[in-house]
Amino acid sequence: MHTYVWTVGHETLGVARSNVRWMSWNLLLAAVPAVLAVLLFHRPRRQAVLWWAGVLFVAIWFGYEAMTAVVETVRRLWIDQRDRSAGPTPAG
């Protein structure tokens, strides 16, 4: 049992050492939305400016495909909200 734990621990550290560069980059990229969320939703009076700054950042960083996905998601959410507020439709 002791040898197995030692082997697994040693292999895990080896994998972490050989992948530290891209894992650090992914951790940094994961921190960007967290920081934006705190900035956008902590102070309501500055929300609009920071929100559009975030949208512009996403547009520049991720390009056309990401913006298309964002616009399509917002459009679908808006349509779903509109349909729910209209109430049930009569069966026909």
Q: How far apart are CA 40 and CA 51, in angstroms?
A: 6
Q: How far apart are CA 82 and CA 42, in angstroms?
A: 28
| C-alpha count within 13 angstroms, C-beta hemisphere, residue 45 | 0
Q: Is 80 left (phi over 0), alpha (psi -120 to 50) or beta?
A: alpha
pLDDT tens-digit readout, 3-23: 888 888 888 888 878 888 888
Q: How far apart are CA 81 and CA 83, in angstroms?
A: 5
46 has a pLDDT exceeding 60: no
Confidence (pTM): 0.33
pLDDT tens-digit readout, 51-83: 778 877 877 777 777 777 878 888 888 877 777
Joined together, the tokens standing for residue 77 give: 């959410």
pLDDT tens-digit readout, 20-43: 888 888 888 888 888 888 777 766
